[in-house]
Structure 1
């Protein structure tokens, strides 16, 4: 452990270089943070547009940028329920809200509290027992049980402690969602932290004051050592913790990443005993209690050793004090005496053989890379691991895919919330959205630039559908909004505009838009996106990765193709062949639909490229440009057969089948519908198309019989 200074300094520098190469550097950390914060902002804009009572905050390693590809960190989402008002003082009571008084007494575990229900019409204790989630204690107080969290599990994939784990859409990372209730004031049990000053004079007084201004919240989970586990709520200061992590320097972040790699590689190989939160707590304590000058790249090895010593001391004492609420022992009840002995022994071994242990870390090939730096293995075998360029491209590609998926998902949620509401409601949504462009902060403005065009296009299409129903024309107002949304991505909004012109019979304008869209589509390394399915990402080209590395996230609009969504309020802008998709489900099919995930089945949804070629086929058929028509039909067929990125392949087969019918090729049409059913057996319009096709055969057969009788 205590090697000569030059040795520790050289090893520290090499270790820093390795971490830089795997993406723990300022550029990648900042891009990770920016991407997650954009997604958080888009999610909250959606909540505000639709007047939802919640607000989502993205916490943890992803938002801090303190992760790597090999650590496989999930997304920690804190879902605030704003109807609730958790108070610590009667002066904080608010009329009309669900007010609860935070109680900490001899029966609560440090860092936890009970919640006493108060009246909503006066700052008094409630006397009416509302539901099964409340219980009266010996003092006559009505307390809120943390079992209420089970109500939020509907639609979730699984539960992990107080959180709801949702499997990642489209191959993205899983989301760990925690329900929380806000408290505007700083927790009384953390008041001492505001004046505490360590050797390193970190956090600064400014950081502490800002942290206190964020208040706290309570999470529905009790302590493992509580005598009232169903009544306790954990007091959380995650906002402040995130703020502190965002103010770490790169060597401190690298030290934390190394701690997590060691944790995953050596301490928790089979069961979770020490959490990454404990490692974070140890790191923050070490930073507070050391001179700030030691946290440098050339001292990384020593800093890591110091953190491991502090972790060992915590395990030995079975006490790891929460950084902000010291009374809260985050290790309380976490492991048995036998586990404590094993952990202590493992950490001692790590400290005594620290260099050798680092060389054996497989995560992100860290050990291999370090051996190359130390000349333990020839540089010629370095090709066995991804280069730093490949890593940066993969990290930034993943970040852009997450942002694009977030854009698609938030648009999907907004129009689902619209459902069958009228044009006035959509107008209100758009009006609210404009305030984020005019009055929002930089993140809100950036989120508006992503979300705005998709919603403008939907609004314009709804207006166009209404005017087409009245006089078969597109109103000037509809065209203004449709034009404002053209740059949502490379294709979807342009295809909607082309569909609007097609629906009014303006084939020349529609054809011009389609031709331009096709040219643009093949001018960039475009990747299709759809948030309707839990499917892994399709094939990603090296060119797409290169662009993600070289361009900022603003460039996403040039390299994404969202699926084209038509809600029922847009039906007059939808070709009749696609309208069947809005009515895909029989009464029996509805049983096989997921209540929270399959709402898009009430719409007509199609991938951009098949829809482009379908519209071209229809337009060229109308214009009697037969060669162009056949070329469009061939492109549609080839796209369905070869494009692995299609998310609505069954719909593509359905529109191809109808093209075959119009070409008087019923056998090929039937084959298309059967292939569609192979993709999705239920909730598929192909069932209607097959019935319609057979009905046509029967009518034709009867007509032929009648003709023969006449002869």
Structure 2
């Protein structure tokens, strides 16, 4: 493995990403795990917040099956199904609106591309103690005098603002770290029973939209193309869209704008990636994080994902290991042109520019210089990323120790989220009531590990199903002591 990694050639870099967990097989397993996690989170959320009655979905890199490291965010969308937004309000179909507590019409007049204002069309008077009484009260409180919904109010009860109403019942809730809202998300650092380890979680409130024409132009454009293919295209066309409460920073009436979200459609597209595309996507995210973000913090993984979509659509062949380097180069060239022209079109709504006002003239010059250098030697650029650099530098034995630590951490989290929702409900409550990190850990070992060892859900838990508790604990403690978590969990 030493010689394999140190050569840094195309196939060897491919092997590195495979060993880091970026493969089609592992990605598909993680998608199933986080689909189950969504059901678990929904059950617990609605148990704790009976007045909320929300649908819960894990989105982002974890929902797409792309997150391996423990430090990756968990993006959790809380959808209030009692509210519905319409592109065209169904005035003649009373039944289609009577089932909702409140309905809004999407207004795209005088708003930035990719955003809408929500105009209230109907709202029911819900008597107390009905669960939706608080929802109605909060919607009415957030309305302007002319009936538009502001985005700066807490409407969905199950999403906490700065932990203001969290009841401290044990070690876990006492060590929650609530952070200032970032865009539409409410961030939380979730503590783990190992010193200094947290999982970043973003809670995102959303309303469902009936917007049947949003994918029409895209659907026509991709017909007959090798990617994403007929089956995925049909699924995307039928997928739901949402609005989330954030406006374009610095724009007029920012507080009235709600951003359109196509996260389910994007997840379907990432799930359609083959092995080479998955590794290319992972490699590009590393390059952006370590080579481009230091120049301009507005270069984002979402821009990388969008570039991946455009390049994949234009590529008429079926990608394999031999295409890995070529696709990396294609994506870098594509991003270079986007930076040069200051324009990256949103994949579903091309009229929206994802690079509008994202960098200064000086940042643009530096980004172009960096991207041009990367395109001349992609392998060298990847080897400068900390994780790849270590994989290409250390002896085989040392790499193996670090990979086992990384994979154990991944499996420990995934195991908890692979339990059936009914069992998860019980175990989550026990963990929440634990009075110390040691008790939390003991409860996890007693209730979670036996399930994984017996069933190996989704075939994902190669290490946890073969190691004893002492081995797992030793690997975790030694890894943290050696500082592996500083690089290998990000």
Q: Normalised by the shorter chain, which TM-score bucket?
A: 0.7 to 0.9
Relative contact order (alpha carbons < 8 A, sep ≥ 6): 1 or 2 greater? 2
- 1:395 aligned partner: 410
- 2:135 aligned partner: none
In 1, the alpha carbon distance for the partners of 2:404 and 2:454 equals 11
Structure-2 change in CA distance of 1:306 and 1:44 (3 Å): same
Q: 1:28 aligns with which of 2, 26, 29?
A: 26
Q: Deviations over 1:313-350 (max 9, x none)?
A: 11111111111121221222222222222222221121
C-alpha deviation, 1:84, in angstroms: 1.1
Q: Which residues of structure 1 form unaligned runs of 5+?
A: 1-8, 123-128, 373-380, 408-445, 459-491, 493-528, 561-643, 646-711
- 1:375 aligned partner: none
Q: Deviations over 1:640-676 (max 9, x none)?
A: xxxx99xxxxxxxxxxxxxxxxxxxxxxxxxxxxxxx
Q: Is the 8 A contact 2:10 2:379 kept in 1?
A: no
Q: 1:341 aligns with which of 365, 369, 373?
A: 365
The DSSP-based 3-state class of the residue aligned with 1:67 is coil
- 1:327 aligned partner: 351
- 1:88 aligned partner: 87
Asked if 1:135 corresponds to 2:144, the answer is yes
Q: 2:421 aligns with which of 447, 452, 462?
A: 447
Q: How does 1:298-697 map to 2 (within 5 A)?
A: 298-363=322-387, 366-370=388-392, 381-387=395-401, 388-389=403-404, 391-400=406-415, 402-403=416-417, 446-448=420-422, 450-451=423-424, 529-530=431-432, 552-553=456-457
C-alpha deviation, 1:22, in angstroms: 1.4
Q: Deviations over 1:15-44 (max 9, x none)?
A: 111111111124432333232222111122
- 1:58 aligned partner: 58
Structure-2 change in CA distance of 1:545 and 1:357 (3 Å): farther
C-alpha deviation, 1:370, in angstroms: 3.9
C-alpha deviation, 1:391, in angstroms: 4.2
Q: Deviations over 1:533-590 (max 9, x none)?
A: 795975999xx9999699613899xx99xxxxxxxxxxxxxxxxxxxxxxxxxxxxxx
Q: Is the 8 A contact 2:296 2:359 kept in 1?
A: no
Structure-2 change in CA distance of 1:231 and 1:533 (3 Å): farther
The DSSP-based 3-state class of the residue aligned with 2:119 is strand
C-alpha deviation, 1:271, in angstroms: 5.5
Q: Is the 8 A contact 1:31 1:396 kept in 2?
A: no
- 1:41 aligned partner: 39
In 2, the alpha carbon distance for the partners of 1:228 and 1:333 equals 18
Asked if 1:185 corresponds to 2:211, the answer is yes
In 2, the alpha carbon distance for the partners of 1:119 and 1:84 equals 10
Asked if 1:286 corresponds to 2:308, the answer is no
Q: 2:149 aligns with which of 138, 144, 151?
A: 144
Q: Is the 8 A contact 1:396 1:549 kept in 2?
A: no
- 1:378 aligned partner: none
Q: Is the 8 A contact 1:145 1:232 kept in 2?
A: yes
The DSSP-based 3-state class of the residue aligned with 1:218 is strand
In 2, the alpha carbon distance for the partners of 1:550 and 1:19 equals 29
In 1, the alpha carbon distance for the partners of 2:335 and 2:316 equals 19
Q: Deviations over 1:570-626 (max 9, x none)?
A: xxxxxxxxxxxxxxxxxxxxxxxxxxxxxxxxxxxxxxxxxxxxxxxxxxxxxxxxx
Structure-2 change in CA distance of 1:335 and 1:452 (3 Å): closer
Q: How does 1:230-241 map to 2 (within 5 A)?
A: 230-241=255-266
Q: Is the 8 A contact 2:43 2:425 kept in 1?
A: no
Q: Is the 8 A contact 1:224 1:333 kept in 2?
A: no
Structure-2 change in CA distance of 1:74 and 1:454 (3 Å): closer
Q: TM-score, normalised by structure 1?
A: 0.52
Structure-2 change in CA distance of 1:300 and 1:225 (3 Å): farther
Asked if 1:68 corresponds to 2:73, the answer is no
- 2:180 aligned partner: 158
The DSSP-based 3-state class of the residue aligned with 2:152 is helix
Q: 1:169 aligns with which of 183, 191, 196?
A: 191
Q: How does 1:236-251 map to 2 (within 5 A)?
A: 236-251=261-276
C-alpha deviation, 1:239, in angstroms: 0.8
In 2, the alpha carbon distance for the partners of 1:311 and 1:344 equals 9
Q: Which deviates further from its counterpart, 53-62 or 150-159?
A: 150-159
Q: Is the 8 A contact 2:76 2:203 kept in 1?
A: yes
In 1, the alpha carbon distance for the partners of 2:214 and 2:119 equals 18
Which structure shows the bigger proportion of residues in helix conformation? 1
C-alpha deviation, 1:353, in angstroms: 3.0
Q: Is the 8 A contact 2:288 2:299 kept in 1?
A: yes
Q: Is the 8 A contact 2:8 2:379 kept in 1?
A: no
The DSSP-based 3-state class of the residue aligned with 2:76 is strand
C-alpha deviation, 1:530, in angstroms: 4.9
Q: Which deviates further from its counterpart, 530-539 or 95-104?
A: 530-539
The DSSP-based 3-state class of the residue aligned with 2:181 is strand
Q: Is the 8 A contact 2:105 2:120 kept in 1?
A: yes
- 1:633 aligned partner: none
Asked if 1:224 corresponds to 2:228, the answer is no
